[in-house]
Amino acid sequence: MNLSILDITIIVIYLLLMVGVGIYFSKKNKSSEQFTTASGQIPGWALGLSFYATFLSAITFLGDPGKSFGSNWNPFVFSLSIPLAAIVSTKFFVSFYRNSGEVSAYTHLEHRFGAWARTYVMVCFIMTQLARMGTIFYGIALTLNAMTGLDMRLIIVVAGLCIIFYTVLGGMEAVIWTEVIQAIIKTLGALLILGIIVSKIGISEVIKVGLRDDKFSLGSLNFDFTTSSFWVVLIYGFFINLTNFGIDQNYIQRYHTARNAQEAKNSIWLCVFYYLPVSFLFFFIGTALYVYYSQYPELIEALKQQVSIEKNIALNMLKPSDYGDRVLPFFMKTQIPTGLLGLLMAALLSAAMSTMSSGMNSSATVFLKDIYLRYIKKDISAKKQLNVLHIATVVMGILGIIFGISMIGVKSLLDVWWKLSGIFAGGMLGIFLLGYLSKKIQNIHAKIATIVGVVVIAWMSFKDSLPLQFQSPLDSKLTVVVGTLTIVLVGFGSYRFFLKNDK
């Protein structure tokens, strides 16, 4: 164990605090409405911090510094796209969902196109949540393994059980208020890490070396869609964040927890206001670590040797991108003083727990509303609905743990998450926009569009498995973009085709 008794005590106190929040709110959880929407009594400022905490997951905590350490700031363009998605979402989507009266984001799809559309998008959502939880579980295991030497699988199981426990007990109200606490802890943790690094080398040195080595580059400004250029990441980010705010149950469900529609809209802008500067902070941390270890290369030699052995790569062939995700945990392990390390570990745990608890709750809500009440038994008591929600939360948590264990050994957290989210998000957003943009599009048009869209998404997602002449020339991040546009355009095109032939 590389953690001191003080550090371990701080982490245990944090975990007990989170469990305590769940126990406190468990007294109020007497109905499915309270469990899923906190009875619509959450203030806008708290909801904004909750959204912010969901964005600021362990993927951000580890993946963003890892990317800027190993490469440059190209992924930061994703964060720059969030205000663009917020403009569209606050203008159109929040009121739409609030006025629908449905907690599930997918009920209206059945009204528009039939049960198949609701089921397809619901499955995409659940797969997205499992991918997200698995990626985050792996991120937290990677860090705690570096700190303690404990087996990654054990870490994932123990952390998962803690999150399941307080999510089942407290419901959405516990999720949101723990995320408020976690948002503050994570932000302070980021500031503390950067302060320690800068105190060793100076902020001017970070800027000077970063500029010299082109570490602050946001990517090529050429309209090149075959590589991860500025425009590719910006467009990708816009579509992914439009999916988040427009069709992701994680977010839609929380619109209903706000006291009114205006507070729900304000919470999105509060999230943007909080997240942009902190995202900047994490990318700056990665660049600062690059400069720090450039000046003191002997301090990172142990990590490089470990990665060289694990990945069977010659030491002189290792690139910073090969160990980027491990740099921040390694720095915390070797350079952070006792006591402060415990606080930072609590911050990292909070980064993991906030996203996964809301994911478990929203997935359980989808199971109740879109599967159980739709296909299994429609009329059940309030107590029975609450029991179903509890069981579904536990099952989703266990599946998330399994996904996390299966991801052990991936090269880059951010790359894996971007790929998986692109595969599932394209179909979700495409069908939603098709139904939202025109009332004339009917079931048959949506079915044709979805079939074509799924084929295109599969073609782009697994292009590396195809012969060279059949591979998509576009960067894989554009999967969600092309998939969404394909569904929308084919849907409108098939409508025009049928309309013309009917005449």
Spatial distance between the Cα atoms of 225 and 222, rounded to a whole number of angstroms: 9
pLDDT in tens, 117-161: 888 888 888 888 887 888 778 877 877 777 777 788 888 888 888
Question: pTM for this structure?
Answer: 0.85
H-state helical runs in 202-260: 203-212, 230-247, 249-255
Domain map (residue ranges) of the chain: 5-405+412-502
Which residue pairs from 444-449 have beta carbons closer than 8 angstroms and sit at least 24 positions apart in sequence? 444/494, 444/498, 445/491, 445/492, 445/494, 445/495, 445/498, 446/112, 446/113, 446/117, 446/491, 447/113, 447/116, 448/490, 448/491, 448/494, 449/486, 449/487, 449/488, 449/489, 449/490, 449/491, 449/494
Q: Which of the following CATH numbers is that of domain 5-405+412-502: 1.20.1730.10, 3.40.640.10, 1.10.3720.10, 3.40.50.970?
A: 1.20.1730.10
The answer for residues whose C-beta is within 8 angstroms of residue 96's C-beta and 6 or more apart is 436
**What secondary structure, in 3-state letters, does 325-371 show?**
HHHHHHHHHHHCCCCHHHHHHHHHHHHHHHHHHHHHHHHHHHHHHHH
In total, the chain counts a number of residues equal to: 503
Spatial distance between the Cα atoms of 56 and 9, rounded to a whole number of angstroms: 25
Most confident listed range (239-243, 355-359, 458-462): 239-243
pLDDT in tens, 196-240: 999 999 999 999 999 999 999 999 999 989 898 999 999 999 998
Q: Is the pLDDT of residue 277 over 80?
A: yes
The answer for residues whose C-beta is within 8 angstroms of residue 431's C-beta and 6 or more apart is 109, 113, 117, 120, 121, 446, 449, 450, 487
